[in-house]
Amino acid sequence: MSELILASVSPRRRELLAQAGFAFRVVPAEVTEHEAPDADPRHMVLHNAALKAEWVSARHPEATVLGADTTVFIDNVVLNKPRDPAEARAMLRRLGGRTHTVFTGLAVRRGRDALKLDLGVASEVTFKPLDDATIALYLDRVHTLDKAGGYAIQEQGDLIVAGFTGSLTNIIGLPLEETKQLLTRAGLKH
């Protein structure tokens, strides 16, 4: 059985994959992700996940490599990681009182047998109406600059989230059921 490598530095993805019971190591992909605000989010996350998985797989052809990418989509605009607290505040203002979609792309690659598996997952999140005081409190409590859309549902989510449909782990950054299915198809056991 081949070794599993996670091509991501995301602490949330590491936690979720460990929680799923897989033994793995992390090798960050040194790639430039496509993050245009006007990109089709479904294609963008699949492209970025594949880019990461292929970069690592080319350097570790015997391993099974998992790449993932997550983004937030509202008003036909992709919200990636905010550049600064002001942008995080603007994102939360835009999301307040509305429903948006969280897209994650998954890519599994293995060089030795040219394995290529790809899957896209979508979930919907509805935010409570947010005033400036609630946004300030949330940003004071949660580091959001490394999170698509400027928020983390699993951190102080009760302050901002009214509800969601679909996979909670997708919203966090790695849809576990779909990841398990892909890795099982790749021949890995957890």
- Give per-residue pLDDT as tens, 83-93: 999 999 999 99
Structure token digits, residue 29: 């992909």
| Active-site annotation holds for 113 | no
- Give per-residue pLDDT as tens, 8-47: 989 999 999 999 999 999 999 999 998 888 889 999 999 9
What are the sequence ranges of the domains in the chain?
A: 4-185
Alpha-carbon distance of 35 to 100, in angstroms, equals 18
Helical ranges in 78-120 per DSSP H: 85-95
Q: What does CATH list as the number for 4-185?
A: 3.90.950.10
Place of tokens 């006007």: 38
- Give per-residue pLDDT as tens, 64-78: 999 999 999 999 999
Q: What is the pTM of this model?
A: 0.94
Phi, psi of 103 (to 5 degrees): -110, 135
* Average pLDDT of the residues of the chain: 96
Active-site entry in 38, 40, 69, 158: 69
